[in-house]
A and B are shown apart, each in its own frame.
Chain A
Amino acid sequence: MSENRNDLLNTVDRIIDEHCARPLRESAEAGEWPAGLWRALEAVGLDRAALPEEAGGSGLAFEDAMLALRRSAYHATPVPLAETMLAGSLLAAAGLAVPQGALSVAPVNTSDRLEFVHGSTRTSVVGVAHRVPWGNLCAQVVVVGELDGKDIVGMVSTSGSVRGVEQNLAGEPRALLGFDHAQLTTFAALPGGLARLQAGGALCRSVQMAGALERALEYSLLYANERVQFGRPIAKFQAIQHMLAQLAGQVAAASAAADAAVEASALAPDEFAVAVAKSRAGEAAGKGAEIAHQVHGAMGYTREHNLHYVTRRLWSWRDEFGNEPHWQRRLGRLVAAHGADALWPMLSGL
């Protein structure tokens, strides 16, 4: 790994170390905005890391921005970093300025649609968006929908539109936003429209799952080497070794799939690679979390141990921005429509 990348990882590690202690994690799950943590991430430009430099980005390559996101997920960092990166990149793709501050995106639910309407003096948005990540705590959300049959991205204040707040399994807020002719503060045509938002979100979640899985494996290895039963570390039992070998296989596959999608998506999310990544990482999330918990015994079932910070995220993220069947189906339909003989050229890129 290059020195720059190591620096980047160290930066994320340091911020987590200084600003993300357990009490903060607990208060974030209680619904409080982790202001200090977010400010620290902003201070080093991570919120804008996925933006091109001309759009106010921090000059990192897209792959490095995703590496930072992965590391933040490895640390189960309770902030809308993925959402802010995604929202910013959608604005930038439409040539719009990206504001300061945490942002979210809507709609994220694959069956929600927002409607944009012209008024006499302004353009506004109508409709309901379910489970908008951090939607109650972000002052603004980036919304994608159609205006006069064209794909549009715009921005809208969340003030007055929050109809309810739930949490995902990791205690991250998921807001119900209802827009009743809420005014767009800015808007422009978005190449790719809603599909771009969904694929971008799925890409982020794949990267995050790879990071969380990596941590779950690390916790499991540590625990297996420490925990002694029958006079030896449980790591010496073949059954445990085989479970961990399978976990390592899931982690490696999720990483490889996420890496490939990141590589293909520097300019815009690549549908095929993202579908592969979200399907594969989502499957690894469930299988991986199961093994990690089995290895940890009752200790992993406690609030006390840190394992749940990553596994509860894995169990949430695999269903966000389209679950495995959603993306598998898209892949399957694409492959079937092109016919069996087109599969290998599709896979080998030739």
Chain B
Amino acid sequence: MHEFRFDPVAMPAAAEALRSEVRAFIAGEVARGAFTPSRNSWSSFDPDFSRKCGEQGYIGMRWPKQYGGHERSALERYVVTEEMLAGGAPVGAHWIADRQSGQQILRYGSERARSTILPRIAAGVCYFSIGMSEPDSGSDLAAVRTRASKTEGGWKISGTKVWTSGAHMTNYLIALARTAPKEDDRHAGLTQFIVDLSHPGVSVRPIYNLYGGHDFNEVVFDEFFVADDMVMGEPGMGWTLVTSELAFERSGPDRFLSTYQLLLESIRAIGTDPDARSANEIGRFVAHLATLRRMSISVAGMLERGEQPTVEAALVKDVGTAFEREIPETFRQLIPTEPSLGAGTSYAELLGMSILRAPGFTIRGGTREILRGMIARGLGLR
């Protein structure tokens, strides 16, 4: 049996020093009115704030200096990300590029891709989207139909991506496409491409989400040209790349802090002398949160040691997203409020937006059911 171990990790002194620094930075930004702590931290889009993060050295932290990085540890990066989320900072613009795309380009990109793109990501001025899902390919990612065929000096891509978060504002996406016909091994013949969204041959159309917000898009490629040196890894390696990319997506504090601001405001609304039931619920969430944080830091420790904690990451995301979803469901009963829209920064609005966004938590980045399948595989059941 695979035993899931979430071994303790001691935060190095450098990481704790960094924690104070980041906290002071965020407090400074709030004080000068740059942003109001947001319920929507990593789904926001604020290039000014991202640029400032770049200047502070908070993006591309683990990358080599040669590519604009800061050669810091996974744990230091962890501290920065959790402080940003806990502080409700608008980190959404650079989030994907920092969390996964840049990391992948560093490992699998051509020298040109690395040297032209990574320094801009690290500077907080270049943003990425994820081009995986398609109309007929969601959980079953290997079913993608977007095709790329070889042409002089590069590839021509045609097909449709959906749910592409932020593609109307980002500079690039990494698209997964089929480059060889499907064979017995359906995971073969897939390739990832770096797509410059400012080039001709790609159109981005909004798909409004359930509350009328514009986060995700449909992205259509029509004979879109990608140069050879914007291929990730070797043609045909796409599945391996996608799998490693998803591991970065899954274990971080963004998978249990989505409704943290609502937890905070609920504690504030309940006040300093809670009745027994409210105290119970607050205590229960704090116990869950402290535990999730420990598990997530443990995964960061595994990444630091160069391990591949794919299953542990899936487990943190499954447990973490369930926690995020419970917060609005519980507090709406303790603090009788009609969830409301258009109420500005009030509790009613915060609650309302949390309820409306909650269904996405257990779908984006791999559904709860898919994650449980991965955990089951890790347990030796598949």
Asked whether A and B interact, the reply is yes
- Spell out A's residues near B (CB within 8 Å): 218, 221, 224-225, 235-236, 238, 240-242, 244-246, 248-249, 251-253, 255-257, 259-260, 263, 273, 275-277, 279-280, 283, 324-325, 327-333, 335-337, 339-341, 343-344, 347-348, 350
User: In the docked arrangement, what's the CA distance between A248 and B369, Å?
Assistant: 14
Judged by a CB distance under 8 angstroms, whether B35 is at the interface is no
- Given A242-B369, A260-B8, A277-B287, 13 more pairs with CB closer than 8 A: A224-B381, A241-B381, A244-B381, A248-B379, A260-B294, A325-B280, A332-B281, A332-B283, A333-B279, A335-B283, A336-B267, A336-B282, A341-B264
Report yes or no: B287 in contact with A328, Cβ–Cβ below 8 A.
yes
For the complex formed, measure the closest distance between the CB of B156 and the CB atoms of chain A, giving whole angstroms. Answer: 39
B1: A residues at CB distance < 8 A = 218, 221
What are 28 A-B residue pairs whose CB atoms fall within 8 Å in the complex? A221-B379, A240-B381, A244-B376, A248-B4, A249-B315, A253-B292, A260-B8, A260-B291, A276-B291, A279-B287, A280-B287, A280-B291, A283-B284, A328-B281, A331-B286, A332-B281, A332-B286, A333-B274, A335-B282, A335-B286, A336-B278, A336-B282, A340-B268, A341-B264, A343-B263, A348-B19, A350-B16, A350-B19
Judged by a CB distance under 8 angstroms, whether B375 is at the interface is yes
B293: A residues at CB distance < 8 A = 347-348
Judged by a CB distance under 8 angstroms, whether B210 is at the interface is no
Report yes or no: B268 in contact with A339, Cβ–Cβ below 8 A.
yes
A256: B residues at CB distance < 8 A = 6, 291, 294-295, 298
Closest A residue, CB atoms, query B312? A252
Report yes or no: A339 in contact with B279, Cβ–Cβ below 8 A.
no
User: In the docked arrangement, what's the CA distance between A88 and B380, Å?
Assistant: 42
A325: B residues at CB distance < 8 A = 276, 280
Query: A248-B4, A340-B268 are known contacts. Are A331 and B282 too (CB-CB below 8 A)?
Result: yes
User: In the docked arrangement, what's the CA distance between A337 and B280, Å?
Assistant: 14
User: In the docked arrangement, what's the CA distance between A276 and B292, Å?
Assistant: 11
Report yes or no: A253 in contact with B291, Cβ–Cβ below 8 A.
yes
User: In the docked arrangement, what's the CA distance between A260 and B372, Å?
Assistant: 25
User: In the docked arrangement, what's the CA distance between A252 and B16, Å?
Assistant: 26
Judged by a CB distance under 8 angstroms, whether B273 is at the interface is yes
User: In the docked arrangement, what's the CA distance between A329 and B282, Å?
Assistant: 8
Majority-rule SS of B interface residues: helix
Judged by a CB distance under 8 angstroms, whether B86 is at the interface is yes
Judged by a CB distance under 8 angstroms, whether B271 is at the interface is yes
User: In the docked arrangement, what's the CA distance between A348 and B288, Å?
Assistant: 14
Which 5 A-B residue pairs are closest in the complex by CB-CB distance?
Answer: A328-B283, A332-B279, A331-B283, A332-B283, A241-B376
Closest A residue, CB atoms, query B295? A256
A235: B residues at CB distance < 8 A = 381
- Residue among B272, B282, B286 with the highest chain A CB neighbour number at 10 A: B286
Residue in B20, B265, B283, B318 whose beta carbon sits within 8 Å of that of A249 in the complex:
B318
B270: A residues at CB distance < 8 A = 336
A263: B residues at CB distance < 8 A = 8
Closest B residue, CB atoms, query A218? B1
Judged by a CB distance under 8 angstroms, whether B31 is at the interface is no
B375: A residues at CB distance < 8 A = 244-245, 248-249
User: In the docked arrangement, what's the CA distance between A255 and B7, Å?
Assistant: 10
Judged by a CB distance under 8 angstroms, whether B305 is at the interface is no
Report yes or no: B376 in contact with A257, Cβ–Cβ below 8 A.
no
Report yes or no: B295 in contact with A253, Cβ–Cβ below 8 A.
yes
For the complex formed, measure the closest distance between the CB of A328 and the CB atoms of chain B, giving whole angstroms. Answer: 3
Report yes or no: B264 in contact with A343, Cβ–Cβ below 8 A.
yes
Judged by a CB distance under 8 angstroms, whether B382 is at the interface is yes
Majority-rule SS of A interface residues: helix
Judged by a CB distance under 8 angstroms, whether B138 is at the interface is no
Residue in A245, A257, A329, A344 whose beta carbon sits within 8 Å of that of B294 in the complex:
A257
For the complex formed, measure the closest distance between the CB of B274 and the CB atoms of chain A, giving whole angstroms. Answer: 5
B311-322 vs A, CB cutoff 8 Å, 1 = contact: the mask equals 000010011000
A249: B residues at CB distance < 8 A = 315, 318-319, 375
Report yes or no: B8 in contact with A252, Cβ–Cβ below 8 A.
no
A251: B residues at CB distance < 8 A = 4
User: In the docked arrangement, what's the CA distance between A324 and B280, Å?
Assistant: 8
Report yes or no: A329 in contact with B295, Cβ–Cβ below 8 A.
no
For the complex formed, measure the closest distance between the CB of A303 and the CB atoms of chain B, giving whole angstroms. Answer: 26
Report yes or no: B287 in contact with A255, Cβ–Cβ below 8 A.
no
B8: A residues at CB distance < 8 A = 259-260, 263
Query: A249-B319, A260-B8, A340-B268 are known contacts. Are A348 and B82 too (CB-CB below 8 A)?
Result: yes
Report yes or no: A242 in contact with B291, Cβ–Cβ below 8 A.
no
A350: B residues at CB distance < 8 A = 16, 19-20, 23
B100-136 vs A, CB cutoff 8 Å, 1 = contact: the mask equals 0000000000000000000000000000000000000
Query: A241-B381, A339-B267, A339-B272 are known contacts. Are A344 and B287 too (CB-CB below 8 A)?
Result: no
User: In the docked arrangement, what's the CA distance between A235 and B83, Å?
Assistant: 41
User: In the docked arrangement, what's the CA distance between A337 and B286, Å?
Assistant: 14
- Residue among A283, A339, A344 with the highest chain B CB neighbour number at 10 A: A344
Query: A260-B8, A280-B291, A327-B283 are known contacts. Are A332 and B381 too (CB-CB below 8 A)?
Result: no
Report yes or no: A336 in contact with B274, Cβ–Cβ below 8 A.
yes
Closest B residue, CB atoms, query A257? B291
Closest A residue, CB atoms, query B10? A263
User: In the docked arrangement, what's the CA distance between A67 and B157, Å?
Assistant: 56
For the complex formed, measure the closest distance between the CB of A345 and the CB atoms of chain B, giving whole angstroms. Answer: 9
B294: A residues at CB distance < 8 A = 256-257, 259-260
A328: B residues at CB distance < 8 A = 279-284, 287
User: In the docked arrangement, what's the CA distance between A238 and B382, Å?
Assistant: 10
For the complex formed, measure the closest distance between the CB of B27 and the CB atoms of chain A, giving whole angstroms. Answer: 11
A330: B residues at CB distance < 8 A = 279, 283
Closest B residue, CB atoms, query A262? B8
User: In the docked arrangement, what's the CA distance between A252 and B295, Å?
Assistant: 8
User: In the docked arrangement, what's the CA distance between A324 and B284, Å?
Assistant: 8
Report yes or no: A343 in contact with B267, Cβ–Cβ below 8 A.
yes
A324: B residues at CB distance < 8 A = 284
A344: B residues at CB distance < 8 A = 86
Closest A residue, CB atoms, query B375? A245
